[in-house]
Amino acid sequence: MTKPIVWTVAGSDSGGGAGVQADIKVINLLGGHACSVITALTAQNTIGTGRLEWVAPDMLSDQLEALKADLPPAAVKLGMLGTAAAVEIVTDFLQTAQSPFTVCDPVLISSSGAFLLEASAWKLLTEKLFPVVDLITPNIPEAAHLLSMEITTPADIEAATKKALALGVKEVLIKGGHGQYDIELSSDYWSDGKNHAWLSSPRLDTKNSHGTGCVLSSAIATARALGCDPLDSIVLAKAYLNQGLRQAPELGSGFGPLAFNPWEKAEEDMPFVSQETGEPGTRATLPNL
């Protein structure tokens, strides 16, 4: 059976825990065929990033065109774009490439607090790129910066989602891992403007959390490429992320990577889904892929 093609447009992580390297593993393990467009090279490990070089704009364009000519995608995942030129190129390309589904993980800030997107590109991201993608997956700090608002409560998250939808994006998933309002649960909020859901899982006490946003967004892209509906795609991706956190190996002396294993449907990894924050919700179920 032909595997669906999923592109990742993101930076390279020489440590293998995030970026293109993580995306390729996730896409292949979940049943897709991964293709990559590299936006940046990094010299990094679990301790931090020592050097970063952006790919030349013409090389970025050539990678996109090469894939378009021979390996059209069933889904596209966008990660770290970094520069205004890259945002412009990717936006223009998506307007003509007509990908069936595109998820954008708007990488703005590294784990150490360094900004990874030029200030001149922020407006381009919200005003030009968001209207041509299907789903954005910011964490709370990224959503706060992009939307110029304070986000400290579940009500703030819901308000931020509505504000993001007004920018033209079709679906929004705000990740709640950085939320300080609940020390026991990590709760994400998804909405397409008509439907919405809170997806909650117990917080895991681990330092092996490098690349969580990359894993989640590439898993969503793959699930959509495999034919899952929007909410099921997010449920599957969150369950796969939970599995990776739970099974994470102890690699490196800093913030290590998650486990990258084939999908194993385990009840303990499935999130609880509810309509309102504070509700216990019901544990999600999924058909086998």
Q: What is the pLDDT of residues 202-212, one digit of tens each?
A: 988 889 999 99
Stretch 25-35: mean pLDDT: 98
Report the C-alpha gap between 51 and 19 in whole angstroms. Answer: 15
Give the list of residues 6+ apart from residue 9 with CB closer than 8 angstroms, or none. 36, 37, 39, 64, 76, 77, 78, 79, 81, 90
Q: In this predicted structure, what is the pLDDT of residue 281?
A: 87
Q: How confident is the model at residue 72 (pLDDT cuts 50, 70, 90)?
A: very high
Which residues make beta-bridge pairs with 87? none
CATH of the domain spanning 5-283: 3.40.1190.20
Instruction: Give domain limits for the chain.
Output: 5-283
Report the C-alpha gap between 120 and 57 in whole angstroms. Answer: 16
Stretch 237-253: mean pLDDT: 95
Which residues make beta-bridge pairs with 33? 5
Nearest alpha-carbon partner for 157 in 170, 142, 168: 142
Stretch 241-257: mean pLDDT: 94
Stretch 129-150: mean pLDDT: 95
pLDDT in tens, 164-185: 999 999 999 999 876 666 678 8
Q: One-letter amino acid identity for 204?
A: L
User: Is residue 91 within a helix (H) or strand (E), and if so which, with residue range?
Assistant: helix 84-97
DSSP state, residue 115: B
| Chain centre to alpha carbon of residue 132 | 16
Report the C-alpha gap between 230 and 87 in whole angstroms. Answer: 25
Edge-to-edge strand ranges of the sheet holding 196-202 = 33-38, 5-10, 75-78, 102-104, 135-136, 171-174, 185-191, 196-202, 272-274, 282-283
Lowest mean pLDDT of 89-93, 215-219, 245-249, 278-282, name the range: 278-282
Q: In this predicted structure, what is the pLDDT of residue 190?
A: 98
Q: In this predicted structure, what is the pLDDT of residue 245?
A: 96
Report the C-alpha gap between 82 and 86 in whole angstroms. Answer: 7
Q: How confident is the model at residue 247 (pLDDT cuts 50, 70, 90)?
A: very high
Report the C-alpha gap between 66 and 288 in whole angstroms. Answer: 33
Q: In this predicted structure, what is the pLDDT of residue 50?
A: 85
Q: And the tokens for 42?
A: 């990094």
Report the C-alpha gap between 12 and 38 in whole angstroms. Answer: 6
pTM of the model: 0.95
Report the C-alpha gap between 176 and 270 in whole angstroms. Answer: 16
Other Cβ atoms less than 10 A from the Cβ of 223: the count is 28
Q: In this predicted structure, what is the pLDDT of residue 1?
A: 63
Report the C-alpha gap between 104 and 148 in whole angstroms. Answer: 19
Stretch 109-133: mean pLDDT: 85
Q: What percent of the chain has pLDDT over 90?
A: 80
